[in-house]
Structure 1
Amino acid sequence: MNTTESSSLYDNLEQMDVATILQNINEEDKKVAHAVAKALPSIGSLVEGIIPRMQKGGRLIYIGAGTSGRLGILDASECPPTYGVPHDLVLGIIAGGDTAIRKAVEHAEDDFEQAWQDIQQHGFNAQDTVIGIAASGTTPYAIGGVKAAKAAGLLTACITCNTNSPLAAAVDFPVEVVVGPEFVTGSTRMKAGTAQKLVLNMISTSVMIKLGKVKGNKMVDMQLSNKKLVERGARMIMEATGLDKEKSESMLHQYGSVRAAVDAFHQK
């Protein structure tokens, strides 16, 4: 039996009081970061493989079903506003299409051929990287997608929470984060989902840093899509230039990004 499907370490959950339920969930959650730590070498190898490909125009493509697919979409959708990159540089594709983001689409994850068809709708090139996300490591949608991508010459990887899975066997860079049984047996949106989110954070953040999208520790290319981000950008300019808030905001609006404003200031 896969670890993700093994029986919870706790029983009679319905008889627990709320405080005990929360404490036990928290105890299980504490195990996740330690499990991710054990996978750091694998994550590092994957990131080192992604960076030169994206420097040559490749994209990062996540594929998955259910929670795994949603987490890929979440990570991908946050890259443009955070780092100012094009919306198609990091893609999240979910079995069943956009409808499945909010509502489960019956049997979508069982289609071995569909993921590659979905990828092709966005076009692809040999520098792209496809990462299949599946807690079980057995989801046909993810397995079929990475196999077809690998056959087409793309770099392939996976994020799974079981060892020796069919998904891991199909890719160039398997990342296996074994978090153990879920508090509610088989509910992989819990620890497994948390582990996947942590790994996705690591991959996209480290890649974007190495692509030059961060300066110092600041998101200098972030999109100025709301008042909070404009204020954050102005503070960054103030710190980098010594200008007051009014002038910093003025330069931010004039040049459109923290990076451009600071560069313009230093060129004067």
Structure 2
Amino acid sequence: MDITYDSTSKFVQTSKHRIHINEAGSGSEVVFMLHGSGPGATGWSNFSQNIPVLAEHFRVIAVDMPGWGESDPVTYSGRDHCTDLADLMDELGVDKAAAVIGNSMGGGTTVRFGYEHPERVEKLITMGSSSGSASLFGAAGFTEGLKVLQKGYRNPTPEVMRELVEVMTFDSSFATDELVQARAEMVAAHPEHNKNFIDGTGKRAVVELDFAKVRTITAPTLLFHGRDDRVVPFEHSLRLTSLIPDSRLLLINRCGHWLQIEHAEEFNRQVLHFLGK
């Protein structure tokens, strides 16, 4: 059976939220994939090129986190993605994940999960994750990409959605019409997500990490970052790999914020190797 959005789409009701997931593959080894924070973001839009490959070896679950995609809306003050992931694992009967993989905001959740629930995950993988603090060498304030992301939440026209997808990549050929349309359609279907995100701007960081606790992470950790990331500078992953004891960083040139899309073959190969496949 072909792995498509529709063939893998399902909803799971946890104690707090109705969460949408795309699930493929089978077996006792489970990998969770967590998307970033942009308007229209979903597990499928972030990882559609990775799910089929990983599903040959694992039960793969790409999650629409509460406040995004087809999952329940959540206000900025009520957002607690680490607890949401733990609740989802409980409902799915997964005691311990083989890996949690997160892009951008999802990378922050992955790191937090590593120190908040260390007994529930074997390995951690991030792409383009923020370290949760200001950049030492870059300019203060929002990056070019984050400015476009904010613009997308406030004015989610097809033109702005294309601008968003292009700033996320180094090579604009990856900003396909299909990807732009999917993001625009998801925003239009769930305007409540946009409102809740905008309401929280300046009131709560999307990624919140405790550096002292990051240092306690024991899970082997693989960090990816694009050298040309215009959303989250690669310095953030340098900081994370300096803090996490058992970690390594793969920095890829000619690559933007969506490394798992622009360099899907390399990403898939490195992830499978890291996970022992």
Higher helix share: 1
TM-score normalised per structure 1: 0.38
